[in-house]
């Protein structure tokens, strides 16, 4: 996919090809940093404030200094989109690490490193329409997955296994309970009620998850932020996953078991349409 030419670093906006990283860099060597992925629809950021708030929560949790305040950060990201003349659907990747220093586990006394770039990213229209396959896999991650840290090895391995099994997402479970996806939150619908794992420390508190909960409340849908088992997942009337890039994605198969005859359900569709409206998406994926 096309990367836009200008990137933003702690030193300002620069052409992406001029960005050089030292090999003794905390993000590269320890995964000692945090990140965000923010949606852009037709040149405009979506859920920007929510992502910035979460970035600061992640930074605080790992005692990382963000080199800008929230307002400066937001202004700089707006400037980056403007400088790149972004008018398409795209996504921004922003990463902050504990800086460049000789390799020692303890914190160095150096400034943080930050970079952000924008990549074209069309909405996955066919998948939003038809739904996707998923697999189940054990959640072997640590207890603090609410921190959006660079340490994604379990997520990488799970997603790769999903791909090798003809699926697009791996759904994690721990002690028989569903936690979240390798890069998404998981929802089920049963008897016209919506269930999702509570916003506990062991899952990422997804920005789209939050928006779905608001939309569900507005539509008078009964919502339960409670854990549910892998069996409840398989027995659900509808299943969907949520994330910045995949929005509200219907799940039509889990580990080879069809959900609802393999067709996206009505409640999922209603939430998808409400999502398009509230995100001010111009072109519907559902014609």
Q: Judged by CB under 6 A, how many residues of this single chain contact ligand PLP?
A: 14
Q: How do beta strands 169-174 and 132-138 pair?
A: parallel
Listed in sequence order, the residues at least 6 apart from 269 whose beta carbon sits closer than 8 Å to its beta carbon are 286
Is residue 77 involved in binding ligand PLP (CB under 6 A)?
Answer: no
Site string for ligand PLP, 36-75 (x = CB under 6 A): -x--------------------------------------
Is 159 noted as a catalytic residue in this protein? no
The DSSP code sequence of 128-173 is HHH-EEEEEEE----S-TTS-BS--HHHHHHHHHHHHTT-SEEEEE
Is residue 100 involved in binding ligand PLP (CB under 6 A)?
Answer: no
DSSP 261: G
Burial category of 3 from C-beta neighbours within 10 Å (exposed 0-12, middle 13-18, buried 19 and up): middle
User: Please, what is the minimum distance in Å from the beta carbon of residue 245 to ligand PLP?
Assistant: 7
Is residue 180 involved in binding ligand PLP (CB under 6 A)?
Answer: yes
For ligand PLP, which residue of 26, 91, 98, 209 counts as binding (CB under 6 A)?
209
Catalytic residue (one of 148, 163, 174, 190): 148
H or E stretch covering 53: helix 48-61
How many Cα atoms occupy the beta-carbon half-sphere of 155 within 13 Å?
16
Site string for ligand PLP, 106-145 (x = CB under 6 A): ----------------------------------------
Q: Which stretch binds ligand PLP (CB under 6 A): 89-97, 103-111, 116-124, 178-186?
A: 178-186
Quickly count: other Cβ atoms within 10 Å of residue 17's Cβ: 8
Q: Which stretch binds ligand PLP (CB under 6 A): 22-30, 87-95, 183-191, 223-231?
A: 183-191
Is residue 196 involved in binding ligand PLP (CB under 6 A)?
Answer: no
Q: Across the strands, what pairs with 95?
A: 35, 115
Q: Report how far Cα 177 is from the mean position of its chain's Cα atoms.
A: 21
Among 84, 94, 87, CA closest to 40: 87
Q: Which stretch binds ligand PLP (CB under 6 A): 26-34, 66-74, 207-215, 260-268?
A: 207-215
Catalytic residues: 148
Interface residues with ligand PLP (CB under 6 A)? 37, 155, 180, 183-185, 204, 206-209, 242-244
């Amino acid at each position: 996919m096309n990367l836009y030419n200008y990137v933003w670093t702690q030193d300002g906006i620069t052409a992406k090809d001029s960005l050089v990283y030292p090999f003794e860099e905390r993000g590269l060597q320890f995964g000692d940093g945090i990140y965000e992925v923010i949606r852009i629809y037709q040149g405009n950021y979506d859920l920007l404030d929510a992502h910035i708030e979460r970035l600061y929560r992640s930074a605080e949790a790992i005692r990382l200094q963000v080199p800008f305040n929230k307002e400066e950060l937001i202004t700089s990201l707006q400037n980056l989109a403007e400088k790149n003349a972004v008018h398409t659907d795209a996504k921004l990747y922003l990463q902050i690490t504990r800086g460049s220093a000789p390799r020692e586990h303890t914190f160095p006394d150096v400034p943080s490193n930050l970079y952000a770039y924008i990549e074209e990213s069309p909405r996955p229209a066919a998948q939003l329409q038809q739904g996707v396959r998923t697999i189940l896999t054990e959640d072997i991650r640590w207890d603090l997955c609410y921190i959006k840290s660079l340490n994604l090895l379990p997520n990488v391995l799970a997603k790769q296994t999903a791909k090798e099994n003809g699926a697009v997402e791996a759904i994690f479970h721990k002690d028989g309970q569903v936690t979240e996806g390798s890069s998404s939150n998981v929802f089920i619908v049963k008897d016209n009620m919506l269930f999702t794992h509570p916003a506990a420390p062991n899952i990422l508190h997804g920005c789209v998850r939050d928006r779905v909960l608001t939309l569900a409340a507005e539509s008078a849908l009964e919502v339960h932020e409670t854990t549910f088992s892998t069996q409840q997942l398989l027995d659900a009337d509808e299943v969907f996953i949520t994330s910045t890039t995949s929005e509200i994605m219907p799940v039509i198969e889990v580990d080879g078991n069809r959900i609802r005859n393999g067709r996206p359900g009505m409640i999922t569709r209603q939430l998808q349409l409400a999502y398009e409206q509230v995100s001010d998406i111009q072109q519907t994926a559902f014609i």
